[in-house]
Amino acid sequence: MSLLMPTVYFSSGFIISFLFPRLPIILVTRGKGFNTSFPEHPDPIPLSPKLTQRVLHMRMIYWMGFVVATIPLLFGLASIKWGNAAFGFGLWISSGWYILSRLQTFVGGQKPPWTLGMAQRLQVVMDDAKSEAKCCDNPLPQWDIMAVSCTTCSKVLDAMPRPDLGRKRLDGFFLGTTRLLLSDGYPIISSDEEKRSEVDDSEE
């Protein structure tokens, strides 16, 4: 019984700190006014400058979470010293782990779900669709779950799986949020070609 309340406090702090830095990705981009140019998830998205801009917005919001995570980290340290130690440890451990998981990107770890290189690849596909290198007479590139392909001729233009793009979800807010928390924004699948890609994302 003596361990019950500390466990509850620790778990509460851990969960709060787990959710807090992810709130920007969950909430900021889901508003109706922010998605007037995009179909609902998981429908394919036609390539456009607005889509490229969305990828860059998601990248910015992703790194915003890094800053937001310092709030529960500091509150956790303060709670350990002056308040409830179990609650503070929960806040501190969860937010610390979040920050470390983001920092591993810079030492050869997994790249973020949204990168500068991703936006550049989308732009290359759009440029090719307007050039002599276009895939067919009337190219209409769109981003499916598995890859970027042409609606007209079905040719795969870039084997780049699609991450979450902050759209309203057909599976509803709660189920969609749960899936988003589990995937952390990453594509639900990845292709072998994508793993072999050598896109320069050094400015992430």
pLDDT in tens, 91-114: 999 999 999 988 888 888 889 999
For residues 13 and 108, the model is more confident at 13
Q: Tens digits of per-residue pLDDT, 41-82?
A: 889 999 999 999 999 999 999 999 888 999 999 999 999 999
**CA–CA dist 101, 53 (Å, integer):** 25
Give me the percent of the chain exceeding a pLDDT of 90.
Answer: 56
The structure tokens 């909430």 sit at 27
Burial class (CB in 10 A: 0-12, 13-18, 19+), 36: exposed
The beta-strand segments (E) located in 80-179 are 141-143, 148-150, 156-158
**From start to end of 14-159, where are the E strands?**
45-46, 141-143, 148-150, 156-158
pLDDT for 191 equals 56
Instruction: Give 146-193 pLDDT, tens digit per residue.
Output: 999 999 999 999 999 999 998 888 887 788 888 888 888 898 776 554
**Model-level pTM?**
0.83
d(CA 121, CA 55): 11
Domain boundaries, the chain: 4-38+57-107
| From 1-5, 21-25, 152-156, the region with the lowest mean pLDDT | 1-5
